[in-house]
Amino acid sequence: MSGRPEILFPLFGDLGGLKGIGPKTAEALQHIGVGSPRDLLFTLPHSVVDRRLRDTVQGAELPCTLTVEVQVGQHRMPRNKAGAYRVTVEDAKTAFQIVFFHARGDYVARILPPGARRIVSGKVEVFDGMAQMVHPDHVLLPDEADTLPEFEPVYPLTAGITQKTMVKAATDALARAPDLMEWADAQLVAREGWPGWQAALHLAHAPQGFGAVSLDSPARRRLAYDELFAHQLTLALARAQKRTKPGIETKGRGVLRNKVLSALPYRPTSAQSRAIDEIRGDMASRSRMNRLLQGDVGSGKTLVAFMALLTAVEAGGQGVMMAPTEILARQHLEGLQPLAEEAGVVLELLTGRDKGPERRAKLAALAQGDIQILVGTHAVFQKDVDFADLRLAIIDEQHRFGVRQRFELGRKGEAVDVLVMTATPIPRSLALAQYGDMDVSVLDEKPPGRTPVKTAMLSNEQMDGVVERLRQAVAEGRQAYWVCPLVDESEVSDLTAAEDRFKRLRAALGEDVVGLVHGQMPPADKDAAMARFVAGQTGVLVATTVIEVGVNVPNASIMVIERAETFGLAQLHQLRGRVGRGAAASTCLLMYQPPLGETGLKRLTTLRETEDGFRISEVDLEMRGAGDVLGTVQSGLPRFQIADLERQAGLMKVAQDDARRLLQEDPTLMSERGTAARSLLYLMKQDQAIQLISVG
């Protein structure tokens, strides 16, 4: 069964075939993403105008849109071309005026002949004590009253398109919407009280009242669900296809893991233990693992990852852990080295810096299996890097890589298990939209030994006091980060801001006390400045946001963020997570430029009140919208026309469960419901997904 089903052909035809749409209009509609009758069906009205007939404009709260039957009275022509043409009319209780500007007299006389009765509908406002309707939207004969819908849909428009054009074209597109077989789960439809697909479209385009355009109306929820279900079905097919590729059963006896666990000064949290078990189960199965490990700053992802690497080693294989930057790769190495020594496992680092004989020696040891765990940057991708038996690939900070690289790494071994780690708490609905093809483990508890960070808000006017506090802290041997604002899009001015602050702090605190890192520095200088700070040679590190991800300096207990209101919530949360990693009580100072706007205030107070990254990410999503939270450019987030990821998060989970269940029962989508689901995939332009269906 290949190609789009014939029943859908009318929806993918030319727009020009619809009523009222010529070549020019069709071209204008492209600007709002409408290229076929199908696109028009999914362009829903965003509000309605109440056109119900009333007997009078008297007593209405003006200005508002009203529809009344009137007796047409006297016409007053304008004195000059620019003047107003006024027609006095009377409804059941009062007189008011209908006003036209730049109107031809014969036109007004034709549509409102004196002495006749007409139904007029439009916006009524008070001008000079008199109610008036300027340029009515509709003028009808009394016996045409039923041609005016009680609630008129309002569509999104673009230049050159009127509401009337949209209504006419959408009505014609609706007439072409076929009655398709039901793809949604029957019990779900019954429980939610949803209409069928075709009925939902009719209800959405002809809203009966204001509630009908709300996201919670049954028709809207139904259509949003269809969109999310098609998306989750595509991801579930991708996941199923990965699972049909045989993996290697990687099982360990647990000897190495127990050595490490018994040497730890604390016990893993229950969230860590749960994640370790889930990963161990995946690795032992015959399918390839494709799992996301999501944990807030400091939730102990590294230990979970290391346990997985040890499972690979116990089974006689190798593991690789990859970080987006050299600083982070070195940090993983430092964090894992003591654990590897406990277990008696050979751990090595490979980055772009390894050159000549040293690199050749590492590659030879890797190819022979002498190096059991490799930590590195994307240098581990290079063609000449061969493993003896790679079982597990761990990728840190997924959104710095992307799906393509995930596949590249998977190719390095015969059937490598993949674990992706992210320290960015992503709201559940977004995690499902972006990582729906993966299984997810969440670390939502903090291990013992992390000190809570005290967060305070200070205005820029208190700058001198902050510098004074830093002087005392440095004298006591503590360290601090000072993050400079992102001035605007140009890196040059960000740099100026950082250099300027660096000079001032050096003048105040002493030449050797303050270091500087920013995005424009050569990598070697950046690493050197970081290394001095890590070694405690500098007390204060002035930085742009290059320190956002992953830097670990347990002695740093103060984080100053200048112009904190210019940063996003998730970013502020990541920055704050750089302190509170040691035993010392830690502080985060959010410095802002008064007066604070409403958004800035909400951001900073949310941060002050909670350290829960998932709660923060939900607020961030409410405030910024889905595309921004993940960074639209690289997020790979699908664009939904009807579904609203922020406000319909629950539907996404329902859609995912439903899609996975359907594929479990019917992997080739050949049952009655499976065939209907194929139609849905074509309808939602997910043709690629159809190619993923494994036949037989």
For 155-160, what is the mean pLDDT? 78
**What is the Cα Rg of the chain in Å?**
32
Reduced to 3 states (helix: H, G, I; strand: E, B; else coil), residue 50 is strand
DSSP secondary structure code for residue 539 in this structure: S
SS3 328: helix
Structure tokens at 486: 């992102």
Residue 194 has pLDDT above 90, yes or no: yes
Question: What is the predicted pLDDT for the residue at 277?
Answer: 95
Predicted pLDDT of residue 581: 75
Average pLDDT score over residue span 408-431: 71
Work out the pLDDT band at 493, boundaries 50, 70, 90: low
Most confident among 48-52, 219-223, 500-504, 627-631 (mean pLDDT): 219-223
State the average pLDDT over residues 504-515. Answer: 88
- Which residues are CB-contacts of 528 (< 8 A; sequence separation ≥ 6)? none
pLDDT for the residue 301: 86
CA dist., res. 252 & res. 287, Å (int): 17
Look at residue 405 in the predicted model and tell me its pLDDT.
54
CB 76 within 8 A of CB 100: no
Q: What b/e sequence results for 169-204 when a residue is b if at least 16 CB atoms lie within 10 Å of its CB, and e otherwise?
A: bbbbbbebbbebbebbbeeebeeeebbebeebbebb
More confident call, 112 vs 489: 112
What does the angle CA 292 – CA 294 – CA 295 come to, to the nearest 5 degrees?
A: 155
Q: Residue 315 — pLDDT band, cuts 50, 70, 90?
A: very high
User: What is the residue-wise DSSP string for 105-138?
Assistant: HHHHHHHS-TT-EEEEEEEEEEETTEEEEES-SE
Other beta carbons within 10 Å of 240: 19
Q: How many CB atoms are closer than 10 A to CB 167? A: 19
Q: What is the bridge-based pairing of β-strands 373-376 and 290-295?
A: unpaired
Q: What is the pLDDT of residues 10-58, one digit of tens each?
A: 889 888 788 888 888 887 888 778 888 999 899 888 888 888 988 888 8
What is the rounded CA–CA span in Å between residue 137 and residue 114? 19
Q: Is 314 in contact with 388 (CB distance < 8 Å)?
A: no
The pTM of this model reads 0.64
Q: How confident is the model at residue 636 (pLDDT cuts 50, 70, 90)?
A: very low
| Segments in 3-88 forming alpha helices (H) | 23-29, 37-41
* Tokens at 185, concatenated: 């789960």
Q: Which of 196-200, 414-418, 525-529 has the highest mean pLDDT?
A: 196-200
- Inter-CA distances, 619 with 176, 335, 336, 458, 581, Å: 41, 32, 34, 22, 25
Number of Cβ within a 10 Å radius of residue 55: 10
Q: Which of 154-168, 426-440, 674-688 has the lowest mean pLDDT?
A: 426-440
* Strand bridging mode 53-54 / 64-76: parallel
**Residues found in the chain:** 696
* pLDDT at residue 252 greater than cutoff 80: yes
pLDDT value of residue 625: 53
Strand partners, 121: 67, 138
Give the model's confidence band at 524: pLDDT under 50 very low, under 70 low, under 90 confident, else very high: confident
Cα distance between residue 524 and residue 324, in whole Å: 16
pLDDT (0 to 100) of residue 492: 53
pLDDT value for 576: 87
Our CA angle for 45, 59, 114, nearest 5°, is 85
Burial label for 356, CB within 10 Å (0-12, 13-18, 19+), is exposed
- Residue 408: the pLDDT is 56
Q: Which of 79-83, 208-212, 548-552 has the lowest mean pLDDT?
A: 548-552
The percentage of the chain sitting over the pLDDT mark of 70, rounded to a whole number, equals: 89
Structure confidence at residue 635 (pLDDT): 40
* Degrees, nearest 5: CA angle 691-398-334: 145
Strand ranges, E, within 505-544 = 514-517, 540-543
Contact 340, 347 (CB under 8 A): yes
Q: Are 347 and 372 in contact (CB under 8 A)?
A: yes
Helix axes 326-343, 301-314, angle to 10 degrees: 60
Report the distance separating Cα 281 and Cα 253, nearest Å. 13
Band of pLDDT at residue 274, cut at 50, 70 and 90: very high
- Using DSSP's 3-state secondary structure scheme, residue 450 falls into coil
Burial class (CB in 10 A: 0-12, 13-18, 19+), 691: exposed
Neighbours of 307 (CB within 10 A): 24
Distances in Å between the Cα of 435 and the Cα atoms of 398, 531, 627, 637, 660 are 10, 35, 15, 9, 14
β-bridge pairing 540-543 and 151-154: unpaired
CB atoms within 10 A of CB 56: 17
Predicted confidence band at 627 (pLDDT cuts at 50, 70, 90)? very low
Q: Are strands 540-543 and 514-517 parallel, antiparallel or unpaired?
A: parallel
* pLDDT digits 0-9 by tens, 530-539: 888 888 899 9
Report the pLDDT averaged over residues 64-81.
Answer: 86
What does pLDDT average to over the chain? 83
What structural domains and CATH numbers belong to the chain?
52-148 (2.40.50.140), 255-443 (3.40.50.300), 453-610 (3.40.50.300)
Return the higher-pLDDT residue of 537 and 266. 537
What is d(CA 294, CA 476) in angstroms, rounded to the nearest whole number? 36
Kindly indicate the confidence band of residue 345, based on its pLDDT and cuts at 50, 70 and 90: very high
CB 542 within 8 A of CB 505: yes
